[in-house]
Chains A and B, each alone.
Chain A
Amino acid sequence: MKSGRIFSALFFGLACLYFLLPLVGTLEFSLRARRGEYSLDAYRNVLADPQFHQTIGYSFILSLATIVLGVLIVAPTAFWVRLKLPRLRPVVEFLTLMPLVIPPIVIVFGYIRLYNTSSWLPLLGSAAGSDFLLVCGYATLSLPYMYRAIDTGLRAIDVGTLTEAAQSLGAGWVTVLARVILPNILTAILSGAFLTFAIVIGEYVLAALLNRPAFGPYMVWMGGNKAYEPAALAVVAFGITWASMGLIQLFSRFSKHTQARR
């Protein structure tokens, strides 16, 4: 299979070129802001722009809210379905996969028509209501990832025995969830959380169509108005995605060690 190895190496090399060149290109481009020499001017301009701080701060807070909402909705449900309602499992799984079937732009279109100022629940009438709707939209988009992560975490532990043990010691449902189940699936929750974070921080369509001042629309605005700053933003965004995924890997590796010791 010598020819196979040569072909593999050749193809892998080509793939490296395709995947790495845009990264190198972006980095190089972002350093070109000053004529004739490399500089960090583009980054300096971005960091000096109050809009950058406002939008990325806004998206950061929104992604934290999304993670909290997502965990609060998914974790008890996944736990409950596993423990008491296995019959309902296919239904819940189907619902959590729906956001992969229905494009985000269609979901947000539904929101705009359903929750506009003249509707029965005029969430879009106020800024706070719009923020709330955006967080719910993001929680919906991250539902497939959050549910899968948490359900995988629950599969690894004996939910029934742990619950009964805690209850026999007098724990109520909230205690069971918060102090027994949650610590045991923490790594799963964290991996779902970082994936959610990576999705939400640069999201464009929902934020733009709900008219919220998020990082995604800011990046698009920059793309239309500046030359080198967008490349700097892309480097920042790629760094954020990379950090999120790296942390997931780190946590899952960490959890493998703790499980092996048991």
Chain B
Amino acid sequence: MPLAPDRPAARLLVWLGVVPFLLFALLFLILPTLQVVTGAFRTPDGSATLQNIKGLLTPSILRALALSLKLSLLTAALGCVLGLLLAAAVTRGGLPGWLRGVTMTFSGVASNFAGVPLAFAFIATLGRLGLITVILRDWFGINLMATGFNLISFPGLALAYLYFQIPLMVLIITPALDGLRKDWREAAESLGATGAQYWRMVALPVLWPSLLGTFALLFANAFGAVATAMALTGSSLSILPIILFAQIRGDVLQDPHLGYAVAFAMIFFTGIANLIYVTLRARAERWQK
């Protein structure tokens, strides 16, 4: 080997190998993030302050934050439960084996089918002239709009978010379900456990860290998303990222440093969620070895 790590010059050369990556990460990931975080605690002239964070406590921003939290928590919870049921149905529900492959492939596609086209798909299906709206009206005489359902609203947006949340859950939880060993089930049954008891007392406790960890990931996934909401509701539904988007575009909060504080709040929540995910992930992997 030309580079023996025992010579100091060679050791330095070894470190040179990662310089391009670290430089890239510094310029396009770390510095921009630090800029936002430090900006949240500074006045326009550069001195330290907590005024920007206090500025978050205005009714309009708090309302947006609450709406964002509600949307992310709801779609993460529903995504977890429904994704787990779907994954359980195709892996251990006694359905034909090929459905599993189809479901996994489709989940890979659907979890990436977010953003603007997803919003269009839901408008074309459940919007004023959408397929389901028209079918309900023409075939069943049901006026979907009159029932109080409105796609351009909180439930409509949640319904659209589930389109990428459920598949993401399926992708992550299926390996964990595969980690449930057959002998555990047999052992439980030989001790007289029913199917429900097996799930409640063996499977779920083993899956718990995976479930909670994935919940945190789905939460962060929904909390940072903006394109779907933007294309579906315009800016009529003020979730936190949409407020930030409008602020970056045109300083609607009329205080650039309040924008930093909003961005900081977003990192704060997605950061906590990911911390939970990473911690629980490490725990969950113990069972998958």
Contacts and interface: CB of A to CB of B under 8 A. Distances in A.
A12 B124 contact: no
B249 A110 contact: no
B18 A77 contact: yes
A153 interface: no
Contact of B33 (A4, A18, A106): A106
Interface stretch (B49-57, B175-183, B200-208, B219-227): B219-227
A204 B227 contact: yes
Contacts of B226: 103-105, 204-205
Interface string A90-132: 0010010111111111111111111000000000000000000
Interface of A: 1, 4-5, 7-9, 11-12, 15, 18-19, 21-26, 28-30, 73-74, 76-77, 80-81, 84-85, 88, 92, 95, 97-114, 136-137, 139-140, 143, 164, 167, 195, 198-199, 202-205, 209, 216, 219-220, 223-224, 227, 230-231, 233-234, 237-238, 241-242, 244-246, 248-249
Q: Would you call the interface of chain B mostly helix, strand, loop, or mixed? A: helix
Nearest to B245: A105
Interface residues on B, range: 35 or more
A204 B230 contact: yes
Interface in B114-155: 115-126, 129-132
B93 A4 contact: yes
B267 A101 contact: yes
Contacts of A230: 120, 123-124
B112 A24 contact: no
Given A107-B29, A202-B117, A25 B195 contact: no
B125 A233 contact: no
B95 interface: yes
B44 to A, nearest CB: 12
A206 to B, nearest CB: 10
B34 to A, nearest CB: 8
Interface in B39-53: 39
